[in-house]
Amino acid sequence: MNIILLGPPGAGKGTQAQRLVERHGMRQLSTGDMLRAAVKAGTPTGLEAKAVMERGELVSDALVSALIGDELDAMGEQTGAIFDGYPRTAAQAETLDGILNARGRKLDHVIELSVDEEALVERITGRFTCASCGKGYHDTFEQPKVPGTCDKCGGTEFKRRPDDNAETVRTRLAEYRAKTAPILPIYEARGIVSKVDGMSPMDEVTAAIETILKA
């Protein structure tokens, strides 16, 4: 099964993708994570993307589409893909069709996480992750059970993203409204879009997604 999780920054795409990976052994393909890894490694892709990401704008379609193709080629043919943060423009949506066709895959579901934009700034600015295993936490909504220690790996170092500040978040939301939300009708016309209330508690969002996948 191949699915897209679509929604604005902070809607919960990464949170739900991690849960799908744990439950179903699917693979999360997050272009944001891939770009951050490239920035950290100082690759040519990372050097091109760094400043764009820090401004909260979108990096070039060609660059992210190449990353997605490479990741799909590196995973097993039977492993389902969760596209998290991709596609984000009409051009990327078109390219994804070609990428999937060329690999004998098809899109089964596009799950739209609908959210109240005002809540997103709080969600994003309170977010942090374990520096060792990447497990996500939040100052208010999901703290480690033992303060200062990761629930998953026991790590004690945590980090925050440089683009998770209120000003950049507003640019990211504007980019979503202008370039990403308009791709929904492409998938609605194919009858594969399901809407989930991303403002519900995390476990309820997970349950709603599971119901869609079983249908």
**87 marked among binding-site residues:** yes
Which range in 102-110, 138-146, 151-159, 183-191 contacts ligand AP5 by CB under 6 A? 138-146
Q: Hey, which residues are catalytic here? A: 13, 88, 127, 161, 172
Position 123 contacts ligand AP5 (CB under 6 A) = yes
Q: Rounded CA gap, 59 and 175, in Å?
A: 11
The pairing of strands 81-84 and 136-138 is unpaired
Q: For 63, which DSSP code?
A: H
Which range in 4-12, 74-82, 103-111, 184-192 contacts ligand AP5 by CB under 6 A? 4-12
Position 11 contacts ligand AP5 (CB under 6 A) = yes
Q: Structure tokens of 181?
A: 């939300």
DSSP lists the bridge partners of residue 113 as 196
Cβ-based nearer residue to ligand AP5, 23 or 191: 23
Which residues, 162 to 201, sit near ligand AP5 by CB under 6 A?
A: 172, 198, 200-201
Query: Under a CB-based contact definition with an 8 Å cutoff, are residues 140 and 126 in contact?
Result: yes
**153 marked among binding-site residues:** yes
Sheet containing strand 136-138, edge to edge, reads 136-138, 127-130, 158-159
Cβ-based nearer residue to ligand AP5, 55 or 105: 55
Sheet containing strand 81-84, edge to edge, reads 27-30, 81-84, 2-6, 109-114, 193-197
Preceding peptide of 144 cis, ω within 30°: no
Cβ-based nearer residue to ligand AP5, 78 or 199: 199
Which residues, 53 to 92, sit near ligand AP5 by CB under 6 A?
A: 53, 56-59, 64, 85-86, 88, 92
Q: Rounded CA gap, 111 and 123, in Å?
A: 20
Size of the residue set binding ligand AP5 (CB under 6 A): 35
Position 3 contacts ligand AP5 (CB under 6 A) = no
Which residues, 21 to 60, sit near ligand AP5 by CB under 6 A?
A: 31-32, 35, 52-53, 56-59
| Type of residue numbered 112 | E
The pairing of strands 193-197 and 109-114 is parallel
Q: Which residues bind ligand AP5 (CB under 6 A)?
A: 7, 9-15, 31-32, 35, 52-53, 56-59, 64, 85-86, 88, 92, 123-124, 127, 136, 138, 141-142, 172, 198, 200-202, 205
